[in-house]
């Protein structure tokens, strides 16, 4: 029984940590610029594919990962540029970002085909914790995710730039009136969020594998998590990521793998029925 609990704790935390990186960025973009970025999954998979391709070409893993992250940042800039002219029209934003996501997916399909690709892990080997085998890469991913999410929280709440981001999220017009260049903030948030998604994609490709279709999966997970946590609530998104991670792992353990996503989505719907604003959302 203790082994099972340890397994649930560790595996749930790792899954939650990776999705936390994706969802926190998605939430941050919506919180600050009120944009539902449907191209968020594109940064997730593109960074992983570029890193994979560069490693295969003989470049070092760390150079390849850095290049992958740079590509994610570039995708953030492109999404910013594409959405800027239509930012006030929500439907147009959705169409533009979705079209861009599909374009990226098609490019990846043409370049790499429909099969999954893996990136070699930062660390190899397996640890045994309480009788449960866990790969070093999973443990490292959990640590990295926690570090990134904590750093993000500290950055937002403690630094000057972070406070400008929060001010823009609370009221962009008021922020503008006190001298904050909100366009720069929008651009910064878009790049930061894409970097988080890109990093999550690289970790995901090291533990699992990515294929072009995973971009849609990442988007659906991020969207579901952000809604569960409360749209625009960074802390809510992080908490919801771990809830989703644990629901998935507990379902696999006790009900079977076939039910994992079904139970996860059912739980989200049930929570939203009880609390329509999400766990940490507030009614506007």
Partner 1 sequence: MRYAKAVLTVLILLAAITALCAQPEKAEREKVVIGVIGPMALPEGQAEEKAVKLAVEEINAQGGILGHKVEVVVGDTKLDSNTATSEFRRLATVENADVIIGGFSSGVMTAMMETMAETKTLFLSDASSPAHAQKVEQNYEKYKYWFRVSQNNGSTFALDLADMVKFLRDSGYEVKKVYVIRDEHVWTDPVMEALKPLLEEMGVEIVKDVKIPRGYSEYEQLILEAENLNADLIMPILAISGTGDILVKQWATLKPDLLLAGHDLSAIDAELYEKTNGMANYEIFLADGGALVTAPPTEKCREFVEAYKAKYGHYPESHQAYGAYDAVYLYKMVVEMAAENGEKDPFDPDILVKYLVRFNASNPVQLTRTIAFYDNHDLMWGDEYVRNWISQWQDGKQYIIYPPSVANGELKLPPWIQK
Listing DSSP states for 237-262 in one string gives HHHHHHHHHHHHHHHHHHT-GGGHHH
When binding is defined by CB under 8 A, the residue of 66, 172, 260, 277 that contacts partner 1 is 260
Site for partner 1 in 57-116 (CB under 8 A): 109, 113-116
Q: Binding to partner 1 by residue 255, rule CB under 8 A?
A: no
Q: What is the Cα–Cα distance from 200 to 62, expressed in whole angstroms?
A: 15
Task: Report the Cα 108 to chain-centroid distance in Å.
Answer: 19
Min dist. Cβ of residue 50 to partner 1 (A): 15
Site for partner 1 in 169-228 (CB under 8 A): 208-209, 211, 213-214, 217
49 vs 186 by CB, closer to partner 1:
49
Q: Binding to partner 1 by residue 133, rule CB under 8 A?
A: yes
User: Looking at the chain, how many residues does it have?
Assistant: 284
Q: What is the Cα–Cα distance from 102 to 252, expressed in whole angstroms?
A: 31
Q: What is the Cα–Cα distance from 187 to 33, expressed in whole angstroms?
A: 10
**How many C-beta atoms lie closer than 10 Å to residue 109's C-beta?**
13
- Site size with partner 1, rule: CB under 8 A: 36
Site for partner 1 in 265-284 (CB under 8 A): none
Would you tell me which residues interact with partner 1 (CB under 8 A)?
7, 11, 15, 56, 109, 113-121, 124, 126, 132-133, 135, 137-138, 208-209, 211, 213-214, 217, 248-249, 252-253, 256-258, 260-261
């Amino acid at each position: 029984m203790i082994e099972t609990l340890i397994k649930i704790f560790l595996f749930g935390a790792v899954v939650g940590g990776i999705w936390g990186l994706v969802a926190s960025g998605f939430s941050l973009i919506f919180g600050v610029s009120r944009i539902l970025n449907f191209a968020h999954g594109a940064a997730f998979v593109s960074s992983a594919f570029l890193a994979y391709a560069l490693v295969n070409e003989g470049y070092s893993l760390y150079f390849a990962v850095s290049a992958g992250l740079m590509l994610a940042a570039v995708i953030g800039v492109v999404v910013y540029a594409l959405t800027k002219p239509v930012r006030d029209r929500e439907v147009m934003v959705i169409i533009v970002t979705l079209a861009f996501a599909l374009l990226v997916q098609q490019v990846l399909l043409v370049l790499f085909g429909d099969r999954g690709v893996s990136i070699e892990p930062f660390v190899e080997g397996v640890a045994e914790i309480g009788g449960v085998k866990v790969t070093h890469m999973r443990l490292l991913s959990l640590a990295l995710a926690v570090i990134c999410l904590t750093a993000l929280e500290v950055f937002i709440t403690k630094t000057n730039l972070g406070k400008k981001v929060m001010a823009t999220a609370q009221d962009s017009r008021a922020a503008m009136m006190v001298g904050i260049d909100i366009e720069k903030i929008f651009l910064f948030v878009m790049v930061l969020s894409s970097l988080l998604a890109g990093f999550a994609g690289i970790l995901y490709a090291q533990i699992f594998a990515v294929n072009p279709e995973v971009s849609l999966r990442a988007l659906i997970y991020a969207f579901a998590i952000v809604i569960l946590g409360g749209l625009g609530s960074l802390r809510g998104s992080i908490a919801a990521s771990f809830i989703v991670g644990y629901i998935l792992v507990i379902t696999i353990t006790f009900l079977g793998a076939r039910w994992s996503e079904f139970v996860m989505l059912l739980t989200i719907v049930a929570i939203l029925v009880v609390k329509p604003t999400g766990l940490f959302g507030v009614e506007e």
